């Protein structure tokens, strides 16, 4: 009888996992925090990792924005942006993104010139 009960429990757990895999796998999103200290408004910022791209149309000087981010691939960040009133497109690549299971807050501080300071912290659990 005990074996039958154990077998039924294993079968139920397998069935539940099979039918609810996507719900069980969704643990949340990483977060991007983008801060502008360039002295100019950032326009058409594209931040990319793997097959995912986040676009910020305009971020005024001294402002910041927070965005959720989800990607199923590990990789390096790539950023391309323009500064209002400055000719040419700027680019940067660096930092490292890991898709999980631990969620992170990735901070990007855009500085004067072409400087970008990237850091990451573990996302606080709720």
Domains of the chain, each with CATH number or no CATH: 28-122 (2.60.40.2890)
Strands 104-111 and 116-122: antiparallel
Supply 88's token pair.
Answer: 């040419």
pLDDT value of position 126:
58
Q: Is the pTM of this model over 0.85?
A: no
Q: Positive or negative, the Cα torsion across 89, 93, 97, 103?
A: negative
**pLDDT (tens digit, 9 = 90+) per residue, 39-76?**
999 999 999 998 889 999 999 999 999 999 888 889 99
Give the Cβ contact number of residue 78 at 10 Å: 16
Are 31 and 67 in contact, with CB atoms under 8 Å apart?
yes
């Amino acid at each position: 009888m005990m074996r039958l009960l154990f077998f039924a429990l294993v079968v139920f757990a397998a069935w539940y996992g099979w039918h609810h895999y996507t719900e069980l796998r969704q643990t949340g999103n990483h977060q991007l925090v983008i801060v502008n200290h360039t002295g100019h408004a950032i326009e058409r910022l594209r931040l990319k990792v793997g097959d995912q791209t986040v676009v910020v149309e305009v971020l005024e000087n001294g402002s910041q924005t927070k965005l959720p981010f989800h990607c199923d691939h590990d990789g390096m960040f790539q950023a391309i942006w323009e500064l209002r009133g400055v000719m040419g497109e700027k680019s940067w690549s660096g930092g490292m993104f890991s898709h999980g299971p631990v969620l992170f807050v990735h901070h990007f501080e855009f500085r004067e010139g072409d400087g970008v300071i990237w850091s990451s912290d573990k996302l606080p659990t709720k």
